[in-house]
């Protein structure tokens, strides 16, 4: 009797194909390495119905055509999955809520979290596929000492996308492959040219896919049926200095488009959405050294148990800034060595140690102690200039007696607990 040995089944991979050159080359690389690949494009919106041209954004009909063409050239199965309902609920509606609350959302990060690495991974596993593959410029490695999966920067510093992937969990990282992480963009385009991909010279997507022409306020009015009314511009003292077109239309740090002539440049320094007012002031008022983050995801560590020296980005393409991160209630507190310009509620702050993503979270309102320091500065005696405002040991339950005890003891080496509470 003879026994016929069957060859082991190759690992199966779902390739998230956006129609761009990056995901197309990612598919080719995985196929080259012996994976059984299936191309998937997520239909998230009907962009043409939103007034998009479909060329510079993702998820358009043109993108679907390009992805299908590459899948055909690679001779791999290809499907389009309709996630429009989930995208509307989890991405677009949150986008509107954050803007209406005075923040600035990052829908691309939310899309990665909920769509690409939640819905797609669930779909892949339900269909017997071990991996989800994307064209992001980042790397996934496993720490041999701890066994934890690590997210690392892409080797192409100009294209590194680790910032937008900080929400990946350990379970997801174990099933995610990012084959472009060790390549440069020029190498990726060269591969696409070599294999005559239809999208080899296609421009990278830059816009929010569901916002026509970048005019998010107009999109929101069309989406919600609301009209965002005009209101008052205020200076730092609360004096009315002009009329704005609706607080939702302005972002922290904005200078252009204010229509104010106050004798010196002014910037958006704050918004009161309930009162529909926008506060403007000098650029110096935008800087904060301390930020809080919530909705935190840790990658390289299971949790934060004490202070750590890190570098951090509060914006996608920002140069990393030296800081120390501390545990705080519902998240973490980040103290930068140097004040940062306009850390914006709703945006993500991502922490690094070297090329490893430690974790990240969503920034909340600017830290109240920084605001108190600015307001108190003109009123204190010269001998007290430069003193810091710090939280009382009992947090919001501290009265004048607690504040006095803190003041009497802080110079003797006593330090308040880092509870994350504010006064």
Distance CA 421, CA 423 (A): 7
Q: How many CB atoms lie within 10 A of CB 336?
A: 19
Distance CA 78, CA 59 (A): 15
Half-sphere exposure of 419 (CA within 13 A, CB side): 14
Taking a C-beta distance cutoff of 8 angstroms, is the pair 132, 123 a contact?
no
Q: What are the tokens at 47? A: 């962009």
Catalytic residue among 37, 58, 111, 269: 111
Q: What are the tokens at 164? A: 């937008």
Q: What are the tokens at 371? A: 């605001």
3-state secondary structure at position 308: strand
The verdict on whether 387 is a catalytic residue reads: no
CA torsion sign for 89, 249, 104, 203 is positive
3-state secondary structure at position 135: coil
Taking a C-beta distance cutoff of 8 angstroms, is the pair 22, 135 a contact?
yes
Taking a C-beta distance cutoff of 8 angstroms, is the pair 165, 138 a contact?
yes
The helix or strand, by DSSP H or E, that contains position 363, with its residue range, turns out to be strand 356-363
Distance CA 393, CA 365 (A): 22
Task: Name the E strands within 266-347.
Answer: 267-272, 277-281, 287-298, 308-313, 321-328, 331-341
Task: Name the E strands within 64-211.
Answer: 78-82, 131-133, 138-142, 149-153, 176-177
Catalytic residue among 37, 58, 59, 209: 209
Helix, strand, coil % in the chain, rounded to nearest 5: 30, 25, 45
Among residues 341, 219, 232, the alpha carbon closest in space to that of 277 is found at 232
Among residues 298, 371, 289, the alpha carbon closest in space to that of 336 is found at 289
Q: What are the tokens at 139? A: 């790397």
What is the chain's alpha carbon radius of gyration, rounded to the nearest angstrom?
A: 25
Taking a C-beta distance cutoff of 8 angstroms, is the pair 139, 152 a contact?
yes
The verdict on whether 59 is a catalytic residue reads: no
Residues forming a β-bridge with 16: 40
Taking a C-beta distance cutoff of 8 angstroms, is the pair 307, 326 a contact?
yes
- For the annotated catalytic residues, the residue numbers are 111, 209
């Amino acid at each position: 009797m003879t026994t016929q040995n069957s060859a082991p089944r190759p690992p199966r991979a779902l390739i998230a194909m956006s129609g761009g050159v990056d995901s197309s080359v990612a598919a080719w690389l995985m196929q080259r390495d012996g994976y059984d690949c299936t191309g998937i494009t997520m239909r998230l919106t009907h962009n043409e119905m939103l007034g998009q041209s479909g060329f510079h954004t993702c998820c358009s009909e043109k993108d679907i055509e390009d992805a299908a063409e590459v899948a055909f050239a690679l001779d791999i199965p290809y499907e389009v999955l309709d996630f429009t309902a989930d995208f509307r609920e989890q991405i677009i509606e949150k986008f509107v809520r954050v803007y209406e609350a005075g923040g600035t959302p990052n829908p691309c990060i939310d899309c990665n979290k909920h769509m690409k690495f939640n819905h797609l991974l669930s779909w892949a596993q339900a269909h017997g596929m071990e991996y989800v593959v994307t064209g992001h410029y980042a790397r996934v490695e496993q720490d041999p000492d701890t066994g934890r999966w690590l997210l690392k920067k892409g080797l192409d510093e100009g294209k590194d996308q680790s910032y937008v992937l900080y929400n990946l969990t350990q379970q997801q990282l174990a099933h995610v492959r990012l084959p472009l992480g060790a390549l440069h963009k020029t190498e990726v385009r060269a591969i696409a040219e070599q294999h005559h991909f239809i999208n080899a010279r296609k421009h990278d997507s830059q816009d929010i896919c569901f916002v026509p022409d970048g005019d998010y306020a107009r999109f929101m009015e069309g989406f919600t049926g609301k009209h965002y009314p005009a209101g008052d511009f205020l200076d730092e003292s609360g004096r009315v200095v002009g009329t704005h077109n609706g607080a939702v239309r302005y972002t922290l740090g904005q200078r252009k488009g204010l229509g104010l002539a106050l004798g010196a440049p002014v910037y958006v320094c704050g918004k009161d959405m309930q009162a529909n007012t926008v506060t403007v002031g000098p650029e110096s008022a935008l800087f904060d050294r301390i930020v809080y983050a919530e909705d935190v995801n840790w990658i390289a560590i299971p949790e934060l148990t004490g202070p750590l020296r890190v570098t951090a980005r509060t914006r996608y393409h920002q140069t990393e800034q030296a800081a120390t991160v501390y545990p705080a209630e519902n998240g973490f507190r980040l103290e930068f060595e140097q004040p940062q310009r306009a850390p914006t509620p709703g945006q993500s702050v991502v922490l690094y140690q070297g090329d490893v993503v430690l974790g990240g979270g969503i920034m909340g309102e600017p830290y109240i102690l920084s605001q108190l320091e600015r307001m108190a500065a003109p009123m204190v005696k010269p001998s007290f200039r430069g003193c810091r405002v710090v939280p009382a040991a009992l947090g919001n339950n501290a009265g004048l007696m607690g504040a006095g005890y803190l003041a009497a003891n802080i110079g003797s080496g006593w330090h308040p607990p880092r509870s994350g509470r504010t006064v």
